[in-house]
Structure 1
Amino acid sequence: MTEERKYWVPALEKADRVLSVVSLEPGKYKLIDLSRQLAINKSSMFSLLHTLETLNWVKKGADDTYSLGEAIAVLGSSLVKQFDLNDRFQSEAAGARDRLQETIQLARRIEDHILYLGKVEALTPVRLQSEPGMRLPAHTTALGKVMLAQLPEAEWKRLYPERALTMQTPNTIGDREKLFQQLRQIRQQGFALDDQESVVGFRCVAAPIYNIVGDTIASVSCSMPLHQWEQKAADTKREIVDLAKRLSGLN
């Protein structure tokens, strides 16, 4: 067995095949047609279609043929919005970068990590190592902490079942109770700070980006060397909070 097939789920593969056929010719195939087309027995096909229909991934018409359901449209819309957000970030963040002369970054949360999505880099001698596609533990970054702060406290405990946390630098919060205490403060103030917790010698501020129903979908940040932070802290906080609001569509 190849490594990529080691954890394979055959039912998901079959569902993917069903969705592929239905998407190419919606309203054409009935259960028996899909069974023959994909060489899946009728009993298994019935279970697949029943589950997909219940989940709104497919819908059955009056003539018993199948088309894609509303859940697929929602997922597709979310994917488009993800790219729209990155495009808007590139445009909106350029102004903040020019005013601050510092690099601006965009990330989203995946469980207890963050994934960098975008970066608008300032022309400075000091370059940040983070790049789109890179992941870091959420609790070590302002980007991650500001997104964690928006979650219910029960979710914090699920994400961090152990008291001890991974240390990225000597300044990283290593105790989950201290992290939870800081997250409560972040939730109230609307932004998060990173004091050399991810990279020694750098401070960072981040603010959350919300969707239309108020869920946190991403965050933006600005990081800079300590000597620059002393001069720019107030302006940087204001710029990042304002940028996050613009990207949330709140302004």
Structure 2
Amino acid sequence: MKESTTGLKTIERAFEILELLKDEKEVGVAELSRKIDLPKSTVHDYLRTLTSIGYVINDDGRYRLGFRLLEFGGQMKYRNRLFHIAKPELERIVENTGEIASANIEERGRFVILHAEHSAESLKLGIYPGITIPIHTHAAGKVMLANYPEDRRDRIIEEHDLVAMTDHTITDRDELCDELKKIKEQGYAVDWNEQVVGMGVVAAPVEVDDQVIGSLGVVCPTDRLRDEEYRAELAREVQKSANIVSVNYQYSP
């Protein structure tokens, strides 16, 4: 049992280092040692091992993530059926609106962007596949929560703190549940400034056999989304595409 626990802790430490490298872009041994409170010799051993297998690159004593990790993420996305089915519809949304369009999933109670399409005029938010955020802070996450079975929804809310990403994020459970009820009734979700100030989102669920497998979202500046007519237009676009994706997911080869 002791060996198993030690081995698991070693893996946790290795991934903790990878997470820090993701956030810091590149870092030296001494700096990393301070951040994770480990001796420099131990940190160096981890980095040397991760470098030898290609997950970390050593540039003259500064360490960064290697592109081998991109292979894993890319493969995961291209294996995903929702990505392939949703991509043409995301392209159509972008062509019609000029905004960012994304296909999204939930994993372990977190909101994950599976794929995003952009235009030259869309917001530059650094949205990329694999980025995860608290599910209650984003319309495309809330629209999934709203359509989950009650026990699954409650479990996710209980296991994840309702953290505030901005001053506009809903952090009260009763208020969130009231909004989720409204979202389910109207068939789509809208929010602005809850995840990023200045960003608004309209989203609809992708359902297959009465089960939500993901969502489609349209991201635009808050000021544009406050316009009721434009908001309704985006809601129609995203609902139309979500319905097409739902049908194609079931029947396309």
TM-score range normalised by the length of the shorter chain: 0.5 to 0.7
Q: State the match for 1:137 in structure 2.
A: 134
Find the partner of 1:146 among 143, 146, 150: 143
Partners of 1:126 and 1:95 in 2: CA distance: 17
Q: State the match for 2:216 in structure 1.
A: 220
- Pair 124,113 (structure 1): closer, same or farther in 2 beyond 3 Å: same
Do the aligned residues in 1 keep the contact of 2:192 with 2:200 (CA within 8 Å)?
Answer: yes
- CA shift, 1:233, in A, is 1.3
Deviation track 1:199-236 (CA, whole Å, cap 9, x = no partner) reads: 1011111000012x121001000011123222621211
Partners of 1:83 and 1:159 in 2: CA distance: 23
- Residues 9-48 of structure 1 mapped to structure 2, 5 A cutoff: none
TM-score, normalising length from structure 2?
0.64
What is the aligned-residue RMSD (CA, Å)?
A: 2.8
Count, aligned residues: 180
Deviation track 1:47-82 (CA, whole Å, cap 9, x = no partner) reads: xxxxxxxxxxxxxxxxxxxxxxxxxxxxxxxx9996
Find the partner of 1:5 among 4, 7, 11: 7
Deviation track 1:73-113 (CA, whole Å, cap 9, x = no partner) reads: xxxxxx99963321222212111111111110111011321
Q: State the match for 1:86 in structure 2.
A: 83
TM-score, normalising length from structure 1?
0.65
Do the aligned residues in 2 keep the contact of 1:112 with 1:139 (CA within 8 Å)?
Answer: no
Partners of 2:164 and 2:124 in 1: CA distance: 22
Find the partner of 1:171 among 158, 168, 186: 168
Partners of 1:90 and 1:176 in 2: CA distance: 34
Deviation track 1:146-201 (CA, whole Å, cap 9, x = no partner) reads: 00011222333322238962001110001111111111111111101122111101
**Which consecutive unaligned segments of at least 5 residues does structure 2 have?**
11-75
Which stretch shows the higher mean deviation, 120-129 or 236-245?
A: 120-129
- SS of equivalent to 2:171: coil
User: Following superposition, which runs of at least 4 residues in structure 1 exceed 4 angstroms of deviation?
Assistant: 1-4, 79-82
**Percent of aligned positions that are identical:** 28
Do the aligned residues in 2 keep the contact of 1:163 with 1:175 (CA within 8 Å)?
Answer: no
**Which consecutive unaligned segments of at least 5 residues does structure 1 have?**
9-78
Partners of 1:119 and 1:4 in 2: CA distance: 39
**Is the counterpart of residue 118 in structure 1 residue 118 in structure 2?**
no
Partners of 2:180 and 2:169 in 1: CA distance: 14
- CA shift, 1:2, in A, is 9.3
- CA shift, 1:124, in A, is 1.6
Partners of 1:85 and 1:148 in 2: CA distance: 18
Letter in 1 for 2:166: T
Letter in 2 for 1:165: L
Partners of 2:207 and 2:143 in 1: CA distance: 12
- CA shift, 1:7, in A, is 6.4
